[in-house]
Chains A and B, each alone.
Chain A
Amino acid sequence: MDTVTIINALVSGLLTGLVYGLSALGLSVIFGVIRIVNFAHGELMVLGMFMALLLFRWFGLDPLMAVPIGAAVLFAIGYALQHFVVRRVSYLPDHMQFLLLAGIAIMLVSGCLVIFGPDAQGVQLDYALDSFAIGNLIIDKVRLYAAIAAVAVASALLAFFKYSSTGRAIRACADNYLGAKVVGLNVDRLYALTFGIGAACIGAAGCIILLLVQVHPYLAPAYTLLAFVVVIVGGMGSLFGALLGGMLIGVSEELASVVLQPSMKTAFSFALLIVVLLLRPQGLLGRVAR
């Protein structure tokens, strides 16, 4: 095990981790504002991946160019999901809401299974095997592009929350639900928007990650769990935490697969999740748990 291999693994883990982070951002936004644990997270992501796959097959569209379309469609799905379904169960205890989303997750993943079949399918890009070399350091072109796209979308999201009035209104809802209602914000609409924005993040991440992995329906539960790991490690509801958690998990997965075995890398993430849940349940950057 030489240093170059380790550094290469570090860099590639960091880049992949940024895409994980973007996806986890979607989970974090939804949880941070609506206080709903979106158990259908990975399923929405796989939906985005399949959409990018179809766009590539039908029109030869690069998955990176499919990001706006994937994000827009997932935004609509997320908005509708909150407006027509999730909103109606807000009076139920947390675990019932969780189970509702689990039911939706099963429907989505088995729908994908019925339509697309169980086999892994990917896109063949002409630059798929290209890479940049900086000294001994080798960076895959696709991985770098994916990371840049993920950072671009994440920055757009952060800017939206920081500077736009709608973004500020959504933050107001998250900070003080009653106060937001008192000052006349349309909380129901803002919640639906938030779910839509979260889902759009997930859709964008789905399109981007198709550059790196082949898609099949059973990825969905794995991505749900991965996003939970990322968000819990980074801190539920903290947006920078999600990105940081993503990079951390990306690096630890990559290192685990170099040092141990590739198939052990997820076990490593779950072990990390258990440790963080026990020692710092609010996550690395999270505020003290509610």
Chain B
Amino acid sequence: MNDLTPFGRAALLAFAALLLAVPWIASGYVLSVSIICLYLAYMGQAWNLMLGFAGLLSIGHALFVGLGAYTSGYLFTKLGVPPAVGVVAAVAVAMAMGSIIGYLGFRFAIGGVYFALLTIAFSEFVRILLDHAKFLGGTEGMFLPVSQESRRGVDLVNLRGSTEMYYYVILALAAGAFLMCRALLNGRVGYYWRAIRDNPEAAEAVGVDIFRFRMYAVLLSSGMAGVAGVFYAFYYNNLFPEQVLGIERSIEVTLAPIVGGVGTLFGPIFGAFILTPMGELLTEAVEGFKQSGLIAKNVKTDGVKLMFWGLAVALIVLLKPKGLWPWVCERLRLVKPPGQRG
């Protein structure tokens, strides 16, 4: 807050107020798009913690989401454990997987892009295993029971309730993740992470335990993704390995932080709120063109949206590799220039 200009402070407060007010002013459709925005903002924050803070590229975050989703879903459907308890197990399983990947990756010194390939390999491996895991539904999917009356009201223990409740849950998660990352980044850990990211050899030379702090980043990030998995399972109520753990899901998570700005705190949020609505608008436009006959009816609308996302990523890396958020910040003077900070 101290680094913000008065205008920046006002903008932040207005944004927060708007987010809190969305369920009061918006219809069902806008609300569900907002939920996707916040979900991607939250996941973007988790992913950015690894790449943006600690310099570790993961293209396997769907794995942690999937483990969280399947763990809590299984506990709920088979053993009747409510998600409020199941989330602990979900986070534990996701973090256990994170620690396996991290331990192997860092102990065997698998660096850079090879580490990304390791995350992909694990993610695909687990996806195929889940395809064959009959007790988790396999390719036929796992379905969480949900009744009509449970779609009203608020039941946080069972994570059952109205769309408004899901909105506030994911808003709380996204806000919590933002505040936590902010605190971490400004603390000792944050400085260690950035030192490791910018120059691992130098960091090690001045005594930073790079193995330990890299592990912290992976554990925290995978745990956060595990929580997102619980939300995913109880919001969508059906889980298919292909849909939850597909590599597309892992790439989707990376889009918002890349567009917003890798390594920035607000970038993942900004990116999610730019990309998701634009994707939706594009979907609407394509559907409209289909109705009026400008585009052939058999064109896959989803494909057009994905093309736009791919183009967005490519253009950002080419033209604004630091992301849009730092540029917007500077243009709108949201943050004080470095010299004037208290």
Contacts and interface: CB of A to CB of B under 8 A. Distances in A.
Interface of A: 37, 85, 88-89, 92, 94-100, 102-111, 113-114, 117-118, 221, 225, 228-229, 232, 261, 263-264, 266-267, 270-271, 273-274, 277-278, 281
Decide if the interface of chain B is mainly helix, strand, loop or mixed: helix
B141 interface: no
A149 B262 CA distance: 44
17 contacts: A85-B314, A94-B112, A96-B317, A103-B314, A106-B310, A106-B313, A107-B306, A114-B303, A118-B300, A232-B117, A263-B128, A263-B131, A264-B128, A267-B128, A270-B125, A270-B128, A274-B125
A273 B307 contact: no
Decide if the interface of chain A is mainly helix, strand, loop or mixed: helix
A270 B122 CA distance: 7
Contacts of A261: 132
A117 B317 CA distance: 29
B311 A103 contact: yes
B110 A281 contact: yes
Contact of A263 (B132, B247, B317): B132
Contacts of A228: 117, 120
Nearest to A273: B121
B108 interface: yes
Nearest to B242: A218
B258 interface: yes
Nearest to B123: A270
Contacts of A221: 247-248
**Tier of interface size on chain B:** 35 or more
B301 to A, nearest CB: 9
The 5 closest A-B pairs by CB, nearest first: A106-B310, A103-B313, A107-B310, A110-B306, A103-B314
B306 A106 contact: yes
B307 A99 contact: no
A99 B254 contact: yes
A270 B121 contact: yes
A5 B24 CA distance: 66
Contacts of B302: 110, 113
A102 B251 contact: yes
A130 to B, nearest CB: 33
A261 B138 CA distance: 14
Interface in B302-342: 302-307, 309-314, 316-318, 321
A56 to B, nearest CB: 21
Interface in B278-296: none
A96 B321 contact: yes
Contacts of A109: 306
Nearest to B311: A107
Which of A89, A114, A278 lies at the interface centre, i.e. has the most chain B CB atoms within 10 A of its CB?
Answer: A114
Nearest to A43: B310
Nearest to B319: A88
B125 A271 contact: yes
B313 A99 contact: yes
